[in-house]
């Protein structure tokens, strides 16, 4: 490989990396600035170009002009993980059934049922807001974590089913058969053979669910008021007459961190071809 | 069609210093115009590398590639006028069979009448005349492979036809038909064909000449008969033919080869053989059961009989060495201790695994 | 002690995959089931395994109904044509898996798995994943898993079909030895290749278009094929079938050719017959024999199959060694009437050499 090629390659990689990292860097510096630092044009070097301040960060924990982010943060974790976990469990089971057995509900067959699941995501969320609101009110679950979890499950389940059906379809059916011939009941075959070989699929589906749940603002905003505030709603509430850019930047960083961590952890696992060798 | 010359061509993917470790050890090879070649070997032997060098997908680390007198080493695939058929049919599913066959000519801006004429001609050869209006995606895998081939045939400037395991996805019952069709077409159009396969039967059935490769080297090149009768190495003797060639260790005594205490008469003069480990090879089809002692006859014991239907393969120990012998059904198979004869003109001598040419 | 099937029938979209199939498979014997692709072999195996429901018929093992039992209670082991192994388990644990399922401790199961892996020549590969093995080795793992537990019924569905030809040759010889230890099991092995069926089978079953056409010892099936269909399926290349007649003490073939009556045909009444001739019994003859034109020649192992067009239809000859023939070359074909099989117009065998 020629030296010029290497040089070009690494230049390109470097350019692209800086392009990706820049917004984070920008948010990081802004989070340590005050009004003066923010309005005096683009500056990056603390102490040299601007005077660093912790007010952006203290603002997240009940400081002046800020909010207390701890409770919304915990709420978001509970609701996202709760809804995602339930969706993955139910979605995986439903998807396995749809992948392996033939159903007939009136005119509807497997593919129709799968489409029915996915079709719910075709509607714009706004259409769903009012029905959800009315249903939760009827159940007395407005402004509760449980109510949000139920709504999120309704929204996440189709994604989980859709992703997992495709995944199970790619796990050779002979594997289940083999497990049953080896003495497993269908459920044991699913748990001890199919599931371990579908882990990448479960991770993908889980990732989708967590990202969606974590980032959702719309339903969190319409279905909660004061008792149960989620992170995105809390952050938006910061946006008063004078926008506190420093606190917003700090909150942006703190809210994106879990997703970055998950992405890094999972990436290595996903790139490992796991099914190779199941079938020639 | 063109003659293809590989001159000192070798390739390494890793940049290894030793040429013996290259995916393709440097070699000179000439593919004659209008002949059908099979490139045969197990996976990883370098046959696909060689094919890709001819087609231009791989630029050799060393050496030149010539089509007739033209040096094409630095010319990309698209400009080499190569027609290729891959393992999986490459067709335009949305187009009709006619449009598929016409496509290369439309791209070359041929006048419409000439295209129609040429496509009709090729369709007739491929037996696809009645399918011309059908959408190509509705065809069987075998028919799709014929179209892949046909798109090469319509072009008149094709230098060579390269096929990479083209029968892989064809159902067994159609394989025979497609093989026959391919053979008819290559004979009729006098194509220069390089056909890559790991299947001995396919290579031996299809090609005028078979190039056997192993570990980056060409081990033997010859007609199917030559490969069968005179395997250049013991590996070829094993790889070609079923069951494999029998090999017996021998020693020399003056001008004669000695096996199990018996002096063998053969077409070889043992005194003229180069030094090295000596073996004689005799194909199971040529090893004979004998009923009385005589020339080249040794004592043997039958250890098993494999009834394969039309032939029986007898496993035996000849002077303590395992061997196989095949007998057509209907002939009586004895049991226990027997005599076997190694026919003098069927004995091949190997020195360190290579067919001896001296002493013959 | 046997597996007894009666009247197994399955029809899907008006195609009979199994058509009134009845047989008795005995313990300790190796049964090979030969038939072309789509003859119903796989359907039959899946029915025995419990993976396929059927329309009609009964299946009993040692006097107890097998059909009523779900797959996991049948104690059936199966090797598929594709190399199916558990990708997430090591080679050793793949083989130990069915043993663990039957309640053996990890140590005992692994110990036994190790022994079986040794038998299939996979010693030293225990800790690898199946994906790190070659195709042949993967199939050995599948074989080891099936052999490990000494199941009541061992089914093998064209296990060598996806291996290349040298490997197939080697595995065929090994298989006989491997199965000989399976004492009490009922073994059923399917193949499309006559040589494999003949070599491995104590009993050969012939299936064609969903029907079981013949069942018996290899020699009997090969030497006295009950119908023309059996004759074509159990020969490779398929037996040549030529229409003709016996008249005036002569065998009359199409195109004005006639041959003297063979000894085994004496006593047959005059009339139309179909004559069967094995490719290997046909020989390249001299000028006064039947003349034909070569339409194709192919090499199979150490044999050459020559396809010839004659006045009474296409014939295939099998000759020893590797030979090349130009297309359309004229060749004389010698037919020995003593080697002719005679079938009635209803395709049933009436006389065999």
Measure in Å the smallest separation between the Cα of B288 and chain C Cα atoms. Answer: 14
C partners (3+ CB pairs within 8 A) are: A, B
Average pLDDT across chain B, whole number? 90
Task: From B237, B261, B280, give the residue that closes a domain.
Answer: B237
With an 8 Å Cβ cutoff, are B179 and C301 in contact? no
Beta bridge partners, C152, equal none
Residues in chain A closer than 8 A to C80 (CB atoms): 174, 178
* Separation of alpha carbons A44 and A37, rounded Å: 10
Search chain A and give the residue with CA nearest C129: A277
Q: Check if A185 contacts C (Cβ < 8 Å).
A: yes
Q: Which residue has the higher pLDDT, B336 or C206?
A: C206
Residue A269: pLDDT over 70: no
* Separation of alpha carbons C149 and C94, rounded Å: 12
Q: How far is CA C64 from CA B3, B16, C69, in A?
A: 71, 66, 10
Residues B205 and B72 in one domain: yes
Q: Give the pLDDT score at B318.
A: 95
Residue B23: pLDDT over 80: yes
Q: Return the structure tokens found at A63.
A: 């400081």
With an 8 Å Cβ cutoff, are A177 and C85 in contact? no
With an 8 Å Cβ cutoff, are B242 and C321 in contact? no
Q: Can you give the residue ranges of every domain in chain C?
A: 2-226, 240-351
Search chain B and give the residue with CA nearest C306: B205
Q: What 3-state class would DSSP assign to C16? A: strand
Q: Check if A182 contacts C (Cβ < 8 Å).
A: yes
Q: How far is CA A117 from CA A94, A127, A158, in A?
A: 11, 17, 5
Residues B343 and B301 in one domain: yes
What CATH number does the domain containing B63 carry?
A: 3.40.50.300
Search chain C and give the residue with CA nearest B228: C322
Residue B61: pLDDT over 70: yes
Q: Which residues contact B241 (CB under 8 A, 6 or more apart)?
A: B200, B228, B283, C301, C302, C322
Q: Give the pLDDT score at A59.
A: 79
* Separation of alpha carbons A108 and A106, rounded Å: 6
Q: Which of B308, B322, B330 to mutate to test the interface with C (most CBs of C within 10 A)?
A: B308
Band of residue A66 on the pLDDT scale cut at 50, 70, 90: low
Residues B205 and B296 in one domain: no
Strands B278-282 and B348-351: antiparallel
Q: Check if A277 contacts C (Cβ < 8 Å).
A: yes
The residue assigned the tokens 């980032």 is: A215
Closest residue by Cα to residue A95 from A152, A160, A150: A160
Q: Give the pLDDT score at A65.
A: 62
Band of residue B333 on the pLDDT scale cut at 50, 70, 90: confident
Secondary element (H or E) of residue B259:
strand B256-259
Q: Check if C114 contacts A (Cβ < 8 Å).
A: no
CA atoms within 13 A on the CB side of C232: 15
- Taking only the tens place, the pLDDT of each residue in C113-129 is 999 999 999 999 999 99
Q: What 3-state class would DSSP assign to C55? A: coil
With an 8 Å Cβ cutoff, are A280 and C162 in contact? yes
Residue C111: pLDDT over 90: yes
Give the nearest partner residue to B242 out of C218, C280, C302, using CB atoms: C302
With an 8 Å Cβ cutoff, are B243 and C165 in contact? no
Strands C258-260 and C153-157: unpaired
Instruction: Count Cβ neighbours within 10 Å for each residue of A41-73 and write b for 16 or more, e otherwise.
Output: eeeeeeeeebeebebbbbbbeeeeebbebeebb
Q: Which of A100, A173, A181 to mutate to test the interface with C (most CBs of C within 10 A)?
A: A181
Residue C277: pLDDT over 60: yes
Q: Check if B183 contacts C (Cβ < 8 Å).
A: yes
With an 8 Å Cβ cutoff, are A193 and C86 in contact? yes
Average pLDDT score over residue span C301-308: 92
Q: Which of C299, C309, C318 to mutate to test the interface with B (most CBs of B within 10 A)?
A: C299
With an 8 Å Cβ cutoff, are B205 and C199 in contact? no
Search chain B and give the residue with CA nearest C323: B225
Phi-psi map region of A169: left, alpha, beta (phi>0 left; psi -120 to 50 alpha): alpha
Average pLDDT score over residue span A36-42: 76
Residues in chain C closer than 8 A to B329 (CB atoms): 222, 280
- Taking only the tens place, the pLDDT of each residue in C58-110 is 999 999 999 999 999 999 999 999 899 999 999 999 999 999 998 999 999 99
Q: Check if C12 contacts A (Cβ < 8 Å).
A: no
Helix axes B112-126 and B172-189, enclosed angle (nearest 10): 130
Q: Which of C81, C302, C326, C352 to mutate to test the interface with B (most CBs of B within 10 A)?
A: C302
Measure in Å the smallest separation between the Cα of A143 and chain C Cα atoms. Answer: 44
Of the given ranges (A115-129, B21-35, B167-181), which has the lowest mean pLDDT? Answer: B167-181
Q: Check if A274 contacts C (Cβ < 8 Å).
A: yes
Residues in chain B closer than 8 A to C328 (CB atoms): none
- Taking only the tens place, the pLDDT of each residue in C200-236 is 999 999 999 999 999 999 999 999 999 999 999 999 8
Q: Return the structure tokens found at B200.
A: 């001995």
Average pLDDT score over residue span B75-81: 88
Q: What is the dihedral of CA B110, B115, B118, B123, to 10 degrees?
A: 140
Give the nearest partner residue to B242 out of C194, C197, C301, using CB atoms: C301
The residue count of chain B comes to 360
* Separation of alpha carbons C55 and B197, rounded Å: 44
Give the nearest partner residue to B241 out of C164, C235, C302, using CB atoms: C302
With an 8 Å Cβ cutoff, are B239 and C166 in contact? yes
Q: What angle do CA B205, B210, B214 make, to 5 degrees?
A: 120
Residues B263 and B177 in one domain: no
Q: Check if A175 contacts C (Cβ < 8 Å).
A: yes
Measure in Å the smallest separation between the Cα of C176 and chain B Cα atoms. Answer: 10
- Is domain C2-226 annotated with CATH 3.40.50.300? yes
Measure in Å the smallest separation between the Cα of C316 and chain B Cα atoms. Answer: 13
Q: Which residue has the higher pLDDT, C156 or C163?
A: C156
Q: What is this structure's pTM?
A: 0.85
Q: Give the pLDDT score at A271.
A: 60
Band of residue B169 on the pLDDT scale cut at 50, 70, 90: confident
With an 8 Å Cβ cutoff, are C322 and B329 in contact? no
Q: Return the structure tokens found at B162.
A: 């390269």
A31-45, B145-159, B281-295: which has the highest mean pLDDT? B281-295
Average pLDDT score over residue span B309-334: 89
Q: Check if B232 contacts C (Cβ < 8 Å).
A: no
Percentage of chain C exceeding pLDDT 70: 100
- Taking only the tens place, the pLDDT of each residue in A202-238 is 888 898 899 989 999 899 989 988 888 888 888 888 7
Q: Can you give the residue ranges of every domain in chain A?
A: 3-53, 70-270
* Separation of alpha carbons A251 and A27, rounded Å: 10
Strands B288-290 and B354-355: unpaired
Percentage of chain C exceeding pLDDT 90: 74
Quick check: A117 and A161 in contact, CB under 8 A?
A: yes
Band of residue A278 on the pLDDT scale cut at 50, 70, 90: very low
Residues B189 and B136 in one domain: yes
With an 8 Å Cβ cutoff, are C302 and B326 in contact? yes
Q: Give the pLDDT score at C146.
A: 93
Q: Give the pLDDT score at A275.
A: 40
Average pLDDT score over residue span C163-189: 85
Residue B89 belongs to domain spanning = 4-237
Measure in Å the smallest separation between the Cα of A275 and chain C Cα atoms. Answer: 6
With an 8 Å Cβ cutoff, are C84 and A193 in contact? no
- Taking only the tens place, the pLDDT of each residue in A130-177 is 999 999 999 999 999 999 999 999 999 998 998 899 889 988 899 999
- Is domain C240-351 annotated with CATH 3.40.50.300? no
ipTM for the predicted complex comes to: 0.88
* Separation of alpha carbons B335 and B305, rounded Å: 9
- Give DSSP secondary structure letters for B145-203: HHHHHHHHHT-S---EEEEESTTTTS-HHHHHHHHHHHHHHHHHHT--EEEEES-HHHH
Measure in Å the smallest separation between the Cα of B311 and chain C Cα atoms. Answer: 9
Q: Check if A123 contacts C (Cβ < 8 Å).
A: no
Percentage of chain B exceeding pLDDT 90: 57
Residues in chain C closer than 8 A to B208 (CB atoms): 324
Tell me which of 2.60.40.10, 2.40.50.1020, 3.40.50.460, 1.10.3720.10 is the CATH number of domain A70-270.
1.10.3720.10
* Separation of alpha carbons C7 and C11, rounded Å: 13
Quick check: B22 and B217 in contact, CB under 8 A?
A: no
Q: How many domains does chain B have?
A: 2
With an 8 Å Cβ cutoff, are C84 and A278 in contact? yes
The alpha helices in chain A, defined as continuous H runs, are: 3-31, 35-39, 55-58, 70-100, 110-119, 125-139, 145-169, 173-181, 186-189, 199-215, 218-223, 231-237, 245-270
Q: Check if A172 contacts C (Cβ < 8 Å).
A: yes
Q: How far from the centroid of its chain's Cα atoms is residue B5's Cα? A: 19
With an 8 Å Cβ cutoff, are B204 and C322 in contact? yes
Residues B258 and B180 in one domain: no
* Separation of alpha carbons A163 and A114, rounded Å: 11
Q: Give the pLDDT score at A277.
A: 35
Q: Give the pLDDT score at A69.
A: 84
Instruction: Count Cβ neighbours within 10 Å for each residue of B271-286 and write b for 16 or more, e otherwise.
Output: eebeeeebbbbbbbbb
Task: From B190, B210, B237, give the residue that closes a domain.
Answer: B237
Q: What 3-state class would DSSP assign to C340? A: coil
Q: Which of B310, B329, B331 to mutate to test the interface with C (most CBs of C within 10 A)?
A: B310
Average pLDDT across chain A, whole number? 86
Q: Which residue has the higher pLDDT, A51 or C59?
A: C59
Of the given ranges (A236-240, B36-40, B59-63), which has the lowest mean pLDDT? Answer: A236-240
Q: What is the dihedral of CA C170, C171, C173, C178, to 10 degrees?
A: 150
| C38: exposed, middle or buried (Cβ count in 10 Å: 0-12, 13-18, 19+) | middle
Please indicate, yes or no, if residue B360 is contained in any of the structural domains.
Answer: no
With an 8 Å Cβ cutoff, are B199 and C299 in contact? no
Residue C344: pLDDT over 70: yes
Q: What is the largest CA-CA distance in chain A?
A: 73
Residues B137 and B157 in one domain: yes
SS (H, E, C) A38-57: HHCCCCCCECCCECCCCHHH
Q: Which of C72, C142, C143 to mutate to test the interface with A (most CBs of A within 10 A)?
A: C72
Residues B163 and B275 in one domain: no
A partners (3+ CB pairs within 8 A) are: C
Q: Give the pLDDT score at A280.
A: 30
Q: What 3-state class would DSSP assign to C10? A: strand
Q: For residue A153, which phi and psi values (nearest 5 degrees)?
A: -60, -45
Task: From B209, B237, B265, give the residue that closes a domain.
Answer: B237
Residues B262 and B158 in one domain: no
- Taking only the tens place, the pLDDT of each residue in A167-199 is 899 888 999 999 999 999 999 999 999 998 888
Measure in Å the smallest separation between the Cα of C201 and chain A Cα atoms. Answer: 24
Residue A272: pLDDT over 60: no
């Amino acid at each position: 490989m020629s030296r010029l090629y290497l040089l070009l390659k690494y230049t390109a990689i470097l350019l692209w990396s800086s392009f990706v990292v820049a917004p984070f860097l920008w948010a990081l510096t802004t989070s340590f600035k005050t009004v003066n630092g923010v309005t005096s044009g683009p500056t990056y070097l603390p102490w040299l170009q601007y005077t660093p301040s912790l007010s952006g960060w203290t603002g997240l924990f009940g400081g002046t002009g800020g909010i207390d982010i701890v409770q919304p943060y915990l709420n978001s974790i509970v609701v996202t993980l709760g809804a995602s976990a339930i969706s993955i469990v139910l979605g995986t089971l439903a998807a396995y059934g749809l992948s392996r057995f033939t159903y007939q509900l009136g005119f509807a067959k497997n593919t129709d049922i799968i489409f029915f699941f996915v079709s719910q995501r075709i509607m714009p969320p706004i259409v769903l807001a009012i029905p959800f609101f009315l249903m939760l009110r009827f159940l007395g679950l407005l402004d509760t974590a449980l109510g949000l979890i139920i709504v999120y499950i309704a929204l996440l389940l189709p994604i989980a089913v859709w992703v997992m059906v495709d995944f199970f379809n790619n796990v050779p059916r002979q594997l289940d058969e083999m497990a049953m011939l080896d003495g497993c009941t269908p459920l044991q075959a699913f748990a001890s053979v199919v599931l371990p070989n579908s882990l990448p699929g479960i991770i993908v589906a889980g990732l989708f669910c967590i990202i969606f749940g974590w980032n959702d603002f719309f339903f969190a905003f319409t279905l909660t008021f004061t008792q149960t505030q989620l992170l995105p709603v809390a952050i938006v509430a910061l946006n008063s007459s004078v926008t506190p850019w420093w606190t917003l930047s700090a909150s942006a960083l703190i809210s994106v961190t879990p997703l970055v961590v998950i992405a890094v952890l999972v990436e290595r696992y996903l790139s490992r071809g796991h099914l190779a060798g199941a079938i020639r | 069609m063109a003659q293809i010359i590989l001159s000192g061509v070798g390739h390494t993917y890793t940049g290894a210093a030793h040429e013996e470790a290259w995916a393709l050890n440097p070699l000179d090879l000439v593919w004659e115009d209008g002949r059908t070649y099979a490139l045969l070997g197990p996976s990883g032997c370098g046959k696909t590398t060689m094919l890709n060098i001819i087609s231009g997908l791989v630029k050799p680390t060393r050496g030149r590639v010539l089509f007739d007198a033209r040096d094409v080493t630095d010319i990309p695939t698209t400009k080499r006028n190569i027609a290729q058929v891959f393992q999986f049919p490459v067709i335009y599913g949305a187009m009709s069979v006619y449009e598929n066959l016409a496509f290369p000519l439309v791209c070359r801006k041929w006048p419409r009448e000439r295209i129609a004429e040429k496509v009709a001609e090729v369709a007739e050869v491929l037996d696809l005349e009645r399918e011309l209006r059908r959408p190509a995606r509705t065809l069987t895998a075998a028919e799709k492979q014929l179209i892949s081939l046909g798109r090469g045939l319509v072009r008149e400037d094709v230098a060579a036809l390269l096929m990479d395991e083209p029968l892989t996805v064809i159902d067994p019952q159609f394989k025979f038909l497609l093989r026959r069709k391919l053979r008819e077409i290559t004979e009729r159009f006098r194509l220069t064909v390089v056909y890559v396969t790991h299947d001995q039967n396919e290579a031996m059935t299809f090609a005028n000449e078979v190039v056997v490769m192993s570990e980056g080297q060409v081990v033997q090149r010859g007609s199917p008969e030559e490969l069968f009768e005179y395997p250049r190495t013991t590996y070829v003797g094993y790889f070609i033919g079923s069951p494999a060639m029998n090999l017996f260790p021998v020693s020399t005594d003056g001008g004669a080869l000695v096996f199990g205490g018996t002096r063998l008469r053969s077409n070889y003069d043992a005194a003229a053989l180069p030094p090295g480990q000596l073996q004689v090879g005799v194909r199971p089809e040529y090893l004979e059961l004998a009923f009385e002692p005589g020339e080249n006859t040794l004592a043997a014991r039958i250890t098993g009989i494999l009834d394969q239907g039309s032939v029986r393969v007898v496993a035996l120990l000849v002077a303590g060495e395992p061997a196989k012998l095949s007998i057509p059904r209907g002939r009586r198979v004895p049991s226990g201790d027997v005599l076997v004869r190694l026919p003098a003109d069927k004995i091949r001598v190997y020195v360190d695994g290579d067919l001896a040419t001296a002493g013959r | 002690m046997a597996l007894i099937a009666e009247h197994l029938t399955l029809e899907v979209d008006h195609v009979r995959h199994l058509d009134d199939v009845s047989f008795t498979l005995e313990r300790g014997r190796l049964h090979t089931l030969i038939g072309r692709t789509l003859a119903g072999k796989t359907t039959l195996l899946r029915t025995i395994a419990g993976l396929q429901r059927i329309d009609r018929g009964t299946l009993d093992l040692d006097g107890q109904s097998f059909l009523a039992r779900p797959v996991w209670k049948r104690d059936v082991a199966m090797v598929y044509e594709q190399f199916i192994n558990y990708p997430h388990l090591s080679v050793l644990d793949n083989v130990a898996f069915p043993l663990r399922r039957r309640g053996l401790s990890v140590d005992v199961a692994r110990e036994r798995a190790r022994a079986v892996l040794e038998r299939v020549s996979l010693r030293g590969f225990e800790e690898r994943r199946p994906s790190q093995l070659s195709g042949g080795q993967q199939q050995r793992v599948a074989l080891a898993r099936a052999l490990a537990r000494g199941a009541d019924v061992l089914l093998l569905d064209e296990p060598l079909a996806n291996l290349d030809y040298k490997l197939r040759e080697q595995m065929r010889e090994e298989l006989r030895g491997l199965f000989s230890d399976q004492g009490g099991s009922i073994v059923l092995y399917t193949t499309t290749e006559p040589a494999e069926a003949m070599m491995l089978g104590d009993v050969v079953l012939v299936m064609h278009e969903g029907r079981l056409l013949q069942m018996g010892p290899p020699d009997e099936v090969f030497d006295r094929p009950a119908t023309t269909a059996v004759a074509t399926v159990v020969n490779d290349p398929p037996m040549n079938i030529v229409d003709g007649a016996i008249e005036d003490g002569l065998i009359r073939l199409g195109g004005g050719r006639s041959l003297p009556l063979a000894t085994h045909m004496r006593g047959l009444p005059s009339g139309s017959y179909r004559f069967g001739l094995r490719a290997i019994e046909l020989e390249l003859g001299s000028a006064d024999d039947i003349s034909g034109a070569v339409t194709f020649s192919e090499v199979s192992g150490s044999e050459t199959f020559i396809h010839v067009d004659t006045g009474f239809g296409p014939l295939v000859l099998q000759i020893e060694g590797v030979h090349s023939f130009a297309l359309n070359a004229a060749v004389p074909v010698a037919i020995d009437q003593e080697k002719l099989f005679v079938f009635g117009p209803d395709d049933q065998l009436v006389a065999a050499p």
